[in-house]
């Protein structure tokens, strides 16, 4: 049945082992496996988590609930909603946080459930996503957290290159270390974890301040590249995932539509070109599954043209394709996330 995504478990295991040894060689002793791109696909995450990761992390409680059978501690990477606090305490042992009200709610619920709960306080060092803005006076916040029952300030962290594309560098990593030192000195405590970001921090492992001892890694493991510059990581696989879709129509047609033109089904005005007749094939996969702009056909002579909810229209240079043939694509992070999240895309786990 198609469309389907073929997933190579050995390649992912190899990628995970490479990241773990790379990080550990550079003094990063704690690595979170951030599995959210797999939308809770336990068959892979259950195999990767025990390889040496300290936490299995995800942005969605729905996924963390599914991982309860795995003994590895679970971490919530999206700062918690007030409406999900009960589940957060029940199904995870650590969350990234930034709001005192949320931390207070976690404290009350942890007390109620008779648990101790760990938090990593996030600092926004310029990417303008989650976290306390680093120029604020954060000491009163730290003091308040340290007074809360059943809450343990496990560490501090930052997240970069996610919203605005700010990359980690000596300046912002230095600020994170400075914050750690100030907190430790002011309150005479030890912060176990200083979490220096995600796959975009890997490029500077050689120059990472030694106090940064944790990274939260997803994309590098799944797609074999760092994300500050998109460079491939030597020895890692970029092709652990392949998307396959089936041709349901293949005909020779004009490249330019015929008739009075208005908007398409998505309210967009298509950009049209007239390049004469072409071999047009329709694949049974559409926007409901994936945005075709994030797919790369393995056959470089194929051009993706347009898609609507159910169809992807491609142009075929050669006429060796037939009805029922399968066209394969490689994926980027966005298309992998969409395909794994779509229940219309079958997931096939390969042992090769
Ligand atoms: C807070 C946080 N940390 C780490 C990650 C992992 O990022 P990446 O997949 O780029 O390694 C993400 C994204 O999933 C995240 O939201």
Q: What distance in Å separates the CA atoms of residue 26 and residue 154, rounded to the nearest whole number? A: 21
250: nearest Cα among 219, 278, 230? 278
175: nearest Cα among 126, 142, 216? 126
Q: Which ligand 1 atom is the nearest neighbour of the CA of 96?
A: 1
Q: What distance in Å separates the CA atoms of residue 279 and residue 285, rounded to the nearest whole number? A: 18
In a domain, 2, yes or no: no
330: nearest Cα among 322, 339, 343, 321? 339
- Whether ligand 1 lies within 6 angstroms of the CB of 198 is answered as yes
% of the chain with per-residue pLDDT over 90 = 87
Q: In this predicted structure, what is the pLDDT of residue 145?
A: 98
- Whether ligand 1 lies within 6 angstroms of the CB of 15 is answered as no
* Shared domain check, 194 and 283: no
Q: Which ligand 1 atom is the nearest neighbour of the CA of 161?
A: 10
* Model pLDDT for residues 208-240, shown as the tens digit of each residue: 999 999 999 999 999 999 999 999 999 999 999
In a domain, 228, yes or no: no
3-state secondary structure of 195: strand
Q: How many domains does the chain have?
A: 2
- Whether ligand 1 lies within 6 angstroms of the CB of 159 is answered as yes
pTM above 0.75, yes or no: yes
Site to substitute for ligand 1 among 15, 22, 31, 34, most atoms within 8 A of C-beta: 34
Look up the CATH number of the domain holding residue 293.
2.40.30
* Shared domain check, 58 and 169: yes
Query: Considering only CA atoms, which residue is closest to atom 7 of ligand 1?
Result: 198
150: nearest Cα among 98, 115, 122, 123? 115
Last-in-domain residue among 197, 223, 249: 223
* Shared domain check, 199 and 111: yes
* Shared domain check, 299 and 251: yes
Q: In this predicted structure, what is the pLDDT of residue 135?
A: 85
- Whether ligand 1 lies within 6 angstroms of the CB of 36 is answered as yes
Q: In this predicted structure, what is the pLDDT of residue 318?
A: 76
Place of tokens 């007749």: 277
Q: In this predicted structure, what is the pLDDT of residue 78?
A: 98
* Model pLDDT for residues 159-189, shown as the tens digit of each residue: 999 888 899 999 999 999 999 999 999 999 9
208: nearest Cα among 146, 241, 160? 160
* Model pLDDT for residues 260-315, shown as the tens digit of each residue: 877 787 787 777 778 888 899 999 999 999 999 999 999 999 998 889 999 999 99
Q: In this predicted structure, what is the pLDDT of residue 325?
A: 97
* Shared domain check, 136 and 28: yes
In a domain, 1, yes or no: no
Q: For residue 193, report the distance from its CA to the centre of ligand 1, in Å.
A: 16
Last-in-domain residue among 223, 255, 274: 223
The helix (H) or strand (E) run that includes residue 243 is strand 241-254
Look up the CATH number of the domain holding residue 206.
3.20.20.10
β-pair partners for 232: 225
- Whether ligand 1 lies within 6 angstroms of the CB of 335 is answered as no
- Whether ligand 1 lies within 6 angstroms of the CB of 120 is answered as no
What values do phi and psi take at 145, rounded to 5?
Answer: -65, -45
Mean pLDDT of the chain: 95
Q: In this predicted structure, what is the pLDDT of residue 180?
A: 98
- Whether ligand 1 lies within 6 angstroms of the CB of 292 is answered as no
Query: Considering only CA atoms, which residue is closest to atom 16 of ligand 1?
Result: 77
- Whether ligand 1 lies within 6 angstroms of the CB of 199 is answered as yes
Which of the 8 DSSP states describes residue 262? -
Q: Which ligand 1 atom is the nearest neighbour of the CA of 77?
A: 1
* Shared domain check, 253 and 200: no
Q: What distance in Å separates the CA atoms of residue 9 and residue 222, rounded to the nearest whole number? A: 10
Last-in-domain residue among 192, 223, 254: 223
* Shared domain check, 197 and 287: no
Domain housing 126: 8-223
* Shared domain check, 150 and 20: yes
Q: What angle do CA 313, 317, 319 make, to 5 degrees?
A: 95
What values do phi and psi take at 85, rounded to 5?
Answer: -55, -40
* Shared domain check, 341 and 214: no
Q: Which ligand 1 atom is the nearest neighbour of the CA of 159?
A: 1
* Shared domain check, 203 and 105: yes
Q: In this predicted structure, what is the pLDDT of residue 120?
A: 98
* Shared domain check, 315 and 211: no
Examine the pLDDT at 258 and tell me if it is beyond 90.
Answer: no
Q: In this predicted structure, what is the pLDDT of residue 312?
A: 97
Which of the 8 DSSP states describes residue 308? -
**Token pair in block for residue 265:** 């089904």
The 3-class SS string of the chain reads: CCCEEEEEHHHHHHHHHHHHHHHHHCCCCEEEEECHHHCCCHHHHHHHHHHCCCEEEECCHHHHHHHHHCCCCEEECCCCCHHHHHHHHHHCCEEEECCHHHHHHHHHHHHHCCCCEEEEEEEECCCCCCCEECCCCCHHHHHHHHHCCCEEEEEEEECCCCCCCCCCCHHHHHHHHHHHHHHHHHHCCCCCEEECCCHHHHHHHHHCCCCCCEEEECHHHHHCECCCCCCECCCCCCCCEEEEEEEEEEEEEECCCCCCCCCCCCCCCCCCCCCCEEEEEEECCCCCCCCHHHEEECCCCCEEEEECCCCEEEEECCCCCCCCCEEEEEECHHHHHHHHHCCCCEEEEECC
Q: In this predicted structure, what is the pLDDT of residue 64?
A: 98
* Shared domain check, 192 and 310: no
In a domain, 235, yes or no: no
β-pair partners for 346: 4
Band of pLDDT at residue 47, cut at 50, 70 and 90: very high
**Token pair in block for residue 311:** 């169809």
Q: In this predicted structure, what is the pLDDT of residue 254?
A: 83
Q: In this predicted structure, what is the pLDDT of residue 264?
A: 81
Q: For residue 1, report the distance from its CA to the centre of ligand 1, in Å.
A: 32
Largest CA distance in the chain: 75
CB 232 within 8 A of CB 225: yes
Compute how many other C-beta atoms are within 10 angstroms of the C-beta atom of residue 126. Answer: 18
- Whether ligand 1 lies within 6 angstroms of the CB of 219 is answered as yes
């Amino acid at each position: 049945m198609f469309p389907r995504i073929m997933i190579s478990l050995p390649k992912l295991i190899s990628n995970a082992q490479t990241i773990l040894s790379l990080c550990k060689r550079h003094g990063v002793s704690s690595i979170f496996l951030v599995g959210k791109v797999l939308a809770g696909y336990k068959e892979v995450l259950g195999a990767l988590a025990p390889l040496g990761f300290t936490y299995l992390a995800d942005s969605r409680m729905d996924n963390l609930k599914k991982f309860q059978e795995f003994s590895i501690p679970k971490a919530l990477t999206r700062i918690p909603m007030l409406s999900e606090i009960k589940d957060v305490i029940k199904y995870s042992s650590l969350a990234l946080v930034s709001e005192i009200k949320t931390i207070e709610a976690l404290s009350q619920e942890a007390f109620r459930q008779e648990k101790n709960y760990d938090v990593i306080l996030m600092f926004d060092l310029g990417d303008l996503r989650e976290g306390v803005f680093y120029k604020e006076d954060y000491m009163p916040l730290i003091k308040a957290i340290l007074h809360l029952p059943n809450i343990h300030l496990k560490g501090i962290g930052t997240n970069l290159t996610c919203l605005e594309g700010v990359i980690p560098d000596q300046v912002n990593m230095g600020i994170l270390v400075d914050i750690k030192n100030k907190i430790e000195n002011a309150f005479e405590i030890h912060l176990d974890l200083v979490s220096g970001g995600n796959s975009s921090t890997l490029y500077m492992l050689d120059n990472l301040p030694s106090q940064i001892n944790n990274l939260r890694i997803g994309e590098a493991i799944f797609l074999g590249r760092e994300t500050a510059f998109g460079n491939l990581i030597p020895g890692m696989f970029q092709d652990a995932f392949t998307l396959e879709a089936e041709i349901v129509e293949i005909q020779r047609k004009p490249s330019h539509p015929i008739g009075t033109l208005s908007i398409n089904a998505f309210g967009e005005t298509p950009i049209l070109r007239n390049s004469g007749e072409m071999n047009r094939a329709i694949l049974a996969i559409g926007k409901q599954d994936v945005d075709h702009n994030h797919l790369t056909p393995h056959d470089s002579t194929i051009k993706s043209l347009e898609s609507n909810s159910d169809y992807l229209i491609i142009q075929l240079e050669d006429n060796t394709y037939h009805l029922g043939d399968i066209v394969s694509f490689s994926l980027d992070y966005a298309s992998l996330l969409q395909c794994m999240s779509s229940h219309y895309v079958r997931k096939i786990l390969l042992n090769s």
